[in-house]
């Protein structure tokens, strides 16, 4: 039995869950929907959603933990939200938020402009950029695409990295003999 799938999803106050062909979750920060799977059943019991599988087939076991986690992410997103912080490191590198886009000056001949999708907000403080939103998948995807504009390099460590990321450094060329 899936250890993750066995745990019920607690619904905090102010969050409303509607079960059906798609599960709709409404909260103070917005609303999200997640799809269901035919091998998994959902039950609403005294302030929590219990996810159970119909049989022990390989597909049902695979979907059990996945669907519970997707539902838990929706509930957490509409109540608290998600955020990822990126750090821009390098001489002359800077980040700015201009309206609904992020402008990065990261060593190219021109500043790179990244338009933010709907539901995502960005905040720049010095060399740090915080991406936030209610959809965990979308927040992670936007952060990964911004990081991809100038990935950190192993010799000087210049580039865009996650705040908690450790960059493995390499030694440069050794001098001639």
41-86 per-position pLDDT tens digit: 999 998 899 999 999 999 999 999 999 999 999 999 999 999 999 9
Please give the pLDDT value at position 2.
66
For the chain, domains (ranges, CATH) are 3-79 (3.90.930.12), 82-162 (3.90.930.12)
**DSSP codes, the chain:** --HHHHS-EE--TT-EEE-SSEEEEEETTEEEEEE--TTEEEEEETTEEEEEESS--HHHHHHHHHHHHHHHHHHHHHHT-EEEEEEEESTT-EEEEETTEEEEESSSSS-EEEEPPTTEEEEEETTEEEEEES-HHHHHHHHHHHHHHTPPPTTT--EEEETTPPPPP---PPPP-
First to last CA, the chain: 63
Q: How many CB atoms lie within 10 A of CB 64?
A: 23
Q: Which residue has the tokens 């504009």?
A: 149
Instruction: List, in order, residues 6 or more apart from 55 with CB less than 8 Å away.
Output: 39
- Summarize pLDDT for 23-38 with one digit per residue, the tens: 999 999 999 999 999 9
Q: At what angle do helices 58-79 and 136-149 cross, to 10 degrees?
A: 80
Residue 17's closest CA among 50, 66, 40? 50
In the chain, the percentage of residues whose pLDDT exceeds 90 is 89
pLDDT tens digits for range 121-152: 999 999 999 999 999 999 999 999 999 999 99
Q: What is the pTM of this model?
A: 0.89
Question: pLDDT of 99-119, one tens digit each?
Answer: 999 999 999 999 999 999 999
């Amino acid at each position: 039995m899936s250890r993750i799938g066995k745990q019920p999803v607690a619904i905090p106050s102010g969050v409303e869950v509607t079960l059906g062909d798609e599960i709709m979750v409404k909260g103070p920060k917005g609303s999200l929907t997640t799809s269901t799977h035919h091998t998994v059943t959902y039950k609403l019991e005294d302030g929590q959603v219990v996810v159970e599988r119909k049989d022990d087939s390989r597909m049902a076991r695979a979907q059990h933990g996945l669907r519970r986690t997707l539902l838990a992410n929706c509930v957490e997103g509409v109540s608290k939200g998600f955020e990822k912080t990126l750090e821009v490191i390098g001489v002359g590198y800077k980040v700015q938020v201009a309206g609904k886009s992020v402008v990065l000056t990261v060593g190219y001949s021109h500043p790179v402009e990244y338009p933010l999708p709907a539901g995502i907000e960005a905040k720049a403080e010095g060399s740090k950029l915080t991406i936030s939103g209610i959809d965990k998948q979308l927040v992670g995807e936007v952060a990964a695409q911004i990081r991809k504009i100038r990935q950190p390099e192993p010799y000087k460590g210049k580039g865009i990295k996650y705040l908690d990321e450790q960059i493995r450094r390499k030694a440069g060329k050794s001098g001639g003999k």
